[in-house]
Copies of this chain bind each other. A is one copy, B any other.
Amino acid sequence: MANLAETCDHPSVPELADIVQSLKEEIIFGRLLPRERLVEGELSDRYGASRHLIRSALTELQGMGLVARRRNKGAMVRDFSVEEVDEIYEMRALLQREAVLRIPWPIDRALLRELQDIHCSYSRCVEAGDLRQVCILNNKFHFTMFEAANNRCLTEMIQRIWTETLGIRCYSIGDPIWLGRARDEHAAMIAQLATGSREGLLRLVDAHIWPALELYKRAHGGWHASKSRQVARHQGGVAGGRRMSAGVES
């Protein structure tokens, strides 16, 4: 997830951005697992940063929906129940579908070229096994496409779900089989953009998201279904998702 630091102006003194980025990567690459505690003091030592900075980073991650916090109890990597994951993926499908529907058709040649370039780099990194770069280029590929829909609000919502589900997709990101398959699917998308139909692209983009979900579910097995319910209760009114209550709100 490339460069939040460069685009997001405020909460990112260089060091803070680094910490956020690092934690994000530890989550997506599975070194930090869901429900794992994030103790401020430990992180403070590990990164050699003041606890204040760590707190800011956690707040930011919380805002991104990656971390859940409970007052006086600390932060943990956010965990999703199977039901929640299903709901999230339904929305992801809806939004991505909408994005594809809004891409001006036939596709702009410059955009197509850009996607092809990204895909080339992507393929190379897959070969080389550079997971970190694969991740970055994967994001770039999809968001270059989604941004063509020309609706910032839509792009932001997809981005939000994208980030939230980092911890879910961590099960597929390291799987060579899945990586190869994703690469092929990207190639197929480009083909549809170049000489195919919008409907064909729609099918591809939609089909593209489910394998990671299946992998996640399999990793959690049936076990997760009951367990997660406990956790859901344990997390209480999880503050991570900026859930909001019936405040006056308006």
Minimum C-beta distance from A77 to chain B (A): 15
Minimum C-beta distance from A25 to chain B (A): 6
| Chain B minimum-CB-distance residue to A166 | B250
* A7 and B247 form a contact (CB under 8 A): yes
* A248 and B24 form a contact (CB under 8 A): yes
| Chain B minimum-CB-distance residue to A13 | B71
A interface: dominant SS: helix
* A87 and B153 form a contact (CB under 8 A): yes
* B9 and A152 form a contact (CB under 8 A): no
**A–B Cβ pairs within 8 angstroms, 17 of them:** A2-B245, A7-B237, A9-B69, A9-B71, A10-B71, A11-B69, A12-B239, A24-B249, A59-B59, A88-B153, A135-B248, A136-B250, A139-B248, A139-B250, A152-B248, A153-B161, A162-B250
* B248 and A84 form a contact (CB under 8 A): no
Q: Which bucket holds chain A's interface residue count?
A: 35 or more
| Chain B minimum-CB-distance residue to A91 | B153
Would you call A28 an interface residue if the criterion is a C-beta within 8 Å of the partner chain's C-beta atoms? Answer: yes
* B155 and A9 form a contact (CB under 8 A): no
